[in-house]
Amino acid sequence: MICIVRHGQTDWNVEGRYQGRCDTHLNEVGIMQAREIASKINNKKFDVVFSSPLKRAYETAQILTDQDIIVDDRLMERSNGDFEGKLKTEIEGKIDFNDPSENRIENINDFRNRIEDFFLDITKNYKDKNVLVVTHGGVCIYARCFFEGEPLDGDYSNYKVSNCEYLEYEQKVKSKRKIINV
């Protein structure tokens, strides 16, 4: 079983800012969210725990478990380049996040490749193990694609998860990935 948890709330989530690789901490609500999820999964025994190195994910992982946490850079959120820290309302409709030439935004195919690479490693190296993965919203979207397949209607926003939302998968891969040309 693979359990994926998005990090708890940060002040930037509340403010509607693009976080990307900015290293923000959980706020009080985020800490409470993580504690609530911890109480729901406390009867699960994880063989291994992975986390993004970014503080908001790592802090969430520390609240969820007292086990050792393996930090994996492939679980970092997509870099939003020059737009990190800006309000979403400031730049809404002004940029194309699928065009990596703009404003040092991480290429969407590179982003997806590293997420897919991580989950391919997990399904290969931890077969029949219980794995906890703590990461970010964008990573969760493409984790869902990996395990559930692409959204049938093509609307990836339907795969968004809330702060501290918990996803659980058997180790069966359904990805029939579309290559996004940018």
Catalytic residues: 7, 77
Are the C-beta atoms of residues 163 and 11 closer than 8 Å to each other?
no
Torsion from C-alpha of 73, 74, 79, 85, nearest 10 degrees: -50
Strands 2-6 and 131-135: parallel
